[in-house]
Amino acid sequence: MDLTQKQLAEQLAKARRKAGLTQRDVAARLGIHQPSVVVIENGKRAVTALELARLARLYGVSVDALLGTVQ
């Protein structure tokens, strides 16, 4: 089954919360605006490969874990 943008958004929000970070924290650490984090986590904006890699590193998980390809 292919991962939808909405499912990825949910995975990102879950990983962020598990890492103990707020959307504001993520925005500051990635150098993007907080509304960008909001629309990404709402599934209204696609995540670039670079953003996905940076988010995975920030959350302390692998990209595969965010994509749901590993448990």
Please write the tens of the pLDDT for every residue from 17-55: 999 999 999 999 999 999 999 999 999 999 999 999 999
- C-alpha–C-alpha distance, residues 60 and 55, integer Å: 8
Compute the C-alpha angle 64/47/17, nearest 5°.
65
Q: Which amino acid is located at 42 in the chain?
A: N
Full-model pTM: 0.90
pLDDT digits (tens, 9 = 90+) for 1-10: 578 999 999 9
Question: Do 60 and 19 form a contact (C-beta atoms < 8 A)?
Answer: yes
- C-alpha–C-alpha distance, residues 40 and 46, integer Å: 6
